[in-house]
Amino acid sequence: MIQLSPDCVVLELEGGNNLPCSVELMTVELLGETSSWMDPEILKNINHGVIVYLRDELGKQLVSFEEFAEVLKQVLKGFGFDLALPQSEEVASARVEKKDIADWLGRKDHGFELMMFQCLRNELSRTLANEPPCVLWIHGLRACVKNQLGARRWSRKCQDLNDQLIEFIRECFDRNANSDCSLVVHA
């Protein structure tokens, strides 16, 4: 099992879906433009306060959107900010679409690295063009990289291809997705 990043919590969405989310990104999403007015150091402390409260005080890794928003509101109040946070039913019931990168590529054998990028670009465009999800969750990247390189163990070459794929996926996503859509790339 992959360990959750120290700055993340798992957001519990309606319908039984769970989504690992960065506390910093969720804070910026909730605050909107207000976050750009804040000192980055204060925002960092706010995020740390939310994580400490949720993980250490409440012992939670899995939280609902409403619970996160309430904790954020309390932490903001502690820093002297009295902001009305939106109650976003859209985020709470976000449509999460999980895609295995191996399914997108359609091939299980290694050795077609040049075609891989074109396949990824086409599949990302198609997925985002139809009914774009609120969150696009791409998983299976680590296995795909090892398979493409024919590697049994993770190596520097694997890491380089992994980094190239993530950068490529992000670029394609940024070109094709609307501003309401989020991307999660999971090993």
Alpha-carbon span 61 to 54, nearest angstrom? 7
Q: What's the average model confidence in pLDDT over 146-164? A: 89
H or E segment at 71? helix 65-78
* Nearest one of 96, 55, 67, 89 to 182, comparing CA atoms: 96
Q: What is the DSSP letter of 2?
A: P
Q: Does 50 or 106 have the greater pLDDT score?
A: 50
Report pLDDT for 90: 46
As given in the structure block, the two tokens for residue 167 are 């950068």
**Which tens digits make up the pLDDT trace of 51-96?**
788 878 888 878 887 788 888 887 777 766 665 555 444 444 456 6
Q: Which residue has the tokens 């295995």?
A: 100
* Nearest one of 181, 175, 101 to 141, comparing CA atoms: 101
- Counting other chains too, the contacts that 40-43 makes at CB distance below 8 Å and 24 or more residues apart are 42/79
pTM, entire model:
0.52
Report pLDDT for 131: 67
Q: Does 109 or 131 have the greater pLDDT score?
A: 131
Helix (H, G, I), strand (E, B), or coil: what is residue 103? helix
Average pLDDT, the chain: 75
| Rg of the chain (C-alpha set) | 19
Report pLDDT for 179: 60
For the chain, give every domain's residue range: 8-91, 95-185
Report pLDDT for 156: 92
Alpha-carbon span 13 to 141, nearest angstrom? 23
Q: What is the DSSP letter of 108?
A: -
pLDDT tops 60 at residue 105: yes
Report pLDDT for 1: 45
